[in-house]
Chain A
Amino acid sequence: MTSMNATEAAATAVPYLAVNNVEVIYNHVILVLKGVSLQVPQGGIVALLGANGAGKSTTLKSISNLLHAERGDVTKGNIEFKGARIDQMTPNELVRRGVIQVMEGRHCFGHLTIEENLLTGAYTRKISRTELRDSLDKVYHYFPRLKTRRSSQAGYTSGGEQQMCAIGRALMAKPEMILLDEPSMGLAPQIVEEIFEIVKDLNGKEGVSFLLAEQNTMVALRYADFGYIMENGRIVMEGEAKELATNEDVKEFYLGLSGEGRKSFRDVKHYRRRKRWLS
């Protein structure tokens, strides 16, 4: 009964970030997202999981509106942030509203120093020098490693440092919501752990909400509250992170854990057939 009330409340209250039945087409012909709906509550960490090419990055880019640069278009559905439509906004407007994406593969500005990289993150903010200094110090507080590398060109730093730089750069914009794409890519497990700890820390202390796309399902589910699993441009499963982590099929296909040896694909439930809201 109580859970019923909770779902009702969630359905009636204006969600923080809501992606409603979004369809994305690249180059006018390639259908990549086939009606994706998801929600991120305020102050939550939501994981978007799935294999290569499932549409995780595209989902994030449709939110941050970096799709246009790749000739992608949101052709159906809408995206709302704090009750306002954001799907037609430029990335610049979105960053000013507090939604920022940390792109897959870090994308630091290689020829700029770490500190300059961080400073570009504050581009949209009209703030004084001292405020800028404070923001920098805050980032250095969360990422002490960056402070020691502050004057090296970002292109010469390690992958982990670049990932920290990219997250730190996003923090400089004072975001409310960070779309974090594949933070663990190409990093040593220890560094991945370090980065996720910082994400958790930022979530707790700064109140930043996260939507993170990950292939590293095990780690992501450990740090997230809620998870969505994507396949072929659709969301096929969703649930509390803890539940997903113990789900047999998730275990089998994303965690590679299974008690009874290899299973044939034929024996697996076909989640993709499940119809979702409006699609």
Chain B
Amino acid sequence: MGFFIETLLGGLMTGVLYALIGLGFVLIFKASGVFNFAQGAMVLVAALAMARFSAWAIELTGSMLFGNVIAFFMSVAFMIALAIAIERLVLRHLVNQELTTLLMATLGITYVLDGLGQTVFGSSVYTIDVGMPKEPLFLFQDVFEGGILLNPDDLIAALVGAALVAALALLFQYTKVGRALRAVADDHQAAQSVGIPLGRIWVVVWSVAGVVALVAGIVWGSKLGVQFSLSTVALRALPVVILGGLTSVPGAILGGLIIGVGEKLSEVYLGSFVGGGIEVWFAYALALLVLLVRPEGLFGEKHIDRV
């Protein structure tokens, strides 16, 4: 029983990490109706920026906490600058174009970011150390034999993820900007006609997606180290958003949890029957199934068509 719960918790934590990346996808999809391939590259660039800025700032200030805070804000500023650049150079010219065109554009942005990020920040493996406690915790030692092993950094990541999701859900549902974001997603030209400035909205949404990527980059980066492979982590979050629904912020988090837990549990309990390796393809198989049964995902908005 103790082992089951431990696996379950481990899965939940991984799930939150997936959800963090999935959130970035959802944000941009909600505001522009396009699937942003570049989200993974943004995670990489954000993590690279954070790693380099923090190394510099910690050396400069001599304080771990202070340096990291400075580096975080510098990285946020960097991601906002990136959002502005993307709007100026790419999105502005693609107003009212086919969604496929935008999709291809994000694919292009991916390669530019991957290359540029490593050119600017260097391509070696960096570490991010934000001082998260690494000592594993043992919980319920008197209930189960040996207790339940829990990584505190996973726990913190989970809390950060949950807070982020709550904040974003509120932003989308109840603020003027959130409404404008959803309006833009529904109909670019109509949004323009009521005076919503598309450019500014896109800068906002890419900035928010950039900050989400930064948080994901910090969390993943401090676990795996900052390197090129970080940008492919995003592809593992793809099934998450398909499962949760591309338009739903809570869907991203729940999709992440389901896939995180499913991966771990199926690996542990079913892996031995098929020779292991379930963890690698479980998410994709699940996503495929969801696409067959419920293409808009668990919480996604149904496509509304008038005939």
Q: Does A92 contact B (CB under 8 A)?
A: yes
**Chain A's nearest CB lies how many Å from the CB of B249?**
14
**Chain B's nearest CB lies how many Å from the CB of A215?**
20
What are the interface flags for B285-300 relative to A under an 8 Å C-beta threshold, 1 for contact and 0 otherwise?
Answer: 0000000000000000
Q: Which residue of B lies closest to A155 (CB)?
A: B304
User: Are A109 and B304 interface neighbours, CB within 8 A?
Assistant: no
**Chain A's nearest CB lies how many Å from the CB of B184?**
9
B residues apposed to A, CB below 8 Å: 95-96, 176, 179-180, 182-183, 185-197, 247, 301, 304, 306
User: Are A103 and B193 interface neighbours, CB within 8 A?
Assistant: yes
Q: Which of A107, A153, A155 contacts B190 (CB 8 A)?
A: A107
A contact residues around B247 at 8 Å (CB): 111
A111 and B195 in contact (CB under 8 A), knowing A155-B306, A156-B304?
Answer: no
A120 and B191 in contact (CB under 8 A), knowing A90-B197, A92-B197, A109-B183?
Answer: yes
Count of A-B residue pairs with CB < 8 Å: 86
**Chain A's nearest CB lies how many Å from the CB of B250?**
16
Task: State the CA gap A159–B301 with chains docked (Å).
Answer: 21
Q: Which of A91, A111, A116 contacts B193 (CB 8 A)?
A: A91
Q: List 8 A-B contacts (CB under 8 A).
A: A69-B95, A108-B187, A111-B185, A112-B183, A119-B176, A153-B304, A169-B194, A170-B194
Q: Does A217 contact B (CB under 8 A)?
A: no
User: Are B189 and A107 interface neighbours, CB within 8 A?
Assistant: yes
Task: State the CA gap A111–B245 with chains docked (Å).
Answer: 15
User: Are A107 and B195 interface neighbours, CB within 8 A?
Assistant: no
**Chain A's nearest CB lies how many Å from the CB of B91?**
12
| Most chain A beta-carbon neighbours within 10 Å: one of B179, B183, B301 | B183
Label chain B's interface by main secondary structure. Answer: helix
**Chain A's nearest CB lies how many Å from the CB of B98?**
13
A108 and B196 in contact (CB under 8 A), knowing A120-B179, A155-B304?
Answer: no
Task: State the CA gap A112–B30 with chains docked (Å).
Answer: 12
What are the interface flags for A85-109 relative to B under an 8 Å C-beta threshold, 1 for contact and 0 otherwise?
Answer: 0000011101110001111000111
**Chain B's nearest CB lies how many Å from the CB of A10?**
30
Task: State the CA gap A71–B279 with chains docked (Å).
Answer: 48
User: Are B196 and A123 interface neighbours, CB within 8 A?
Assistant: yes
User: Are A120 and B194 interface neighbours, CB within 8 A?
Assistant: yes
What are the interface flags for A111-140 relative to B under an 8 Å C-beta threshold, 1 for contact and 0 otherwise?
Answer: 110001101110110000000000000000
What are the interface flags for A55-77 relative to B under an 8 Å C-beta threshold, 1 for contact and 0 otherwise?
Answer: 00000000010101110000000
Q: Does A110 contact B (CB under 8 A)?
A: yes
> Interface residues of A, CB < 8 Å — how many?
36
Q: Which residue of A lies closest to B200 (CB)?
A: A92
User: Are B186 and A110 interface neighbours, CB within 8 A?
Assistant: yes
**Chain A's nearest CB lies how many Å from the CB of B206?**
19
User: Are A100 and B197 interface neighbours, CB within 8 A?
Assistant: no
Q: Does A173 contact B (CB under 8 A)?
A: yes
User: Are A112 and B186 interface neighbours, CB within 8 A?
Assistant: yes
What are the interface flags for A177-207 relative to B under an 8 Å C-beta threshold, 1 for contact and 0 otherwise?
Answer: 0000000000000000000000000000000
CB contacts under 8 Å to B, within A131-154, are 153
Task: State the CA gap A196–B112 with chains docked (Å).
Answer: 53
Q: Which residue of A lies closest to B178 (CB)?
A: A116
B contact residues around A64 at 8 Å (CB): 193
10 extra interface residue pairs, beta carbon distance < 8 Å, beyond A103-B189, A109-B191, A120-B196: A69-B96, A90-B197, A92-B195, A92-B196, A109-B187, A111-B301, A123-B180, A159-B306, A170-B194, A172-B194
Task: State the CA gap A120–B188 with chains docked (Å).
Answer: 13
4 shortest interchain CB distances as A-B pairs: A95-B195, A155-B304, A107-B190, A109-B186
User: Are B304 and A123 interface neighbours, CB within 8 A?
Assistant: no
**Chain B's nearest CB lies how many Å from the CB of A40?**
18
Q: Which residue of A lies closest to B177 (CB)?
A: A123
Task: State the CA gap A155–B247 with chains docked (Å).
Answer: 16
Task: State the CA gap A72–B195 with chains docked (Å).
Answer: 19
Task: State the CA gap A47–B167 with chains docked (Å).
Answer: 48
Task: State the CA gap A94–B195 with chains docked (Å).
Answer: 8
Task: State the CA gap A243–B182 with chains docked (Å).
Answer: 46
A123 and B190 in contact (CB under 8 A), knowing A69-B95, A69-B96?
Answer: no
A contact residues around B183 at 8 Å (CB): 109, 112, 117, 120
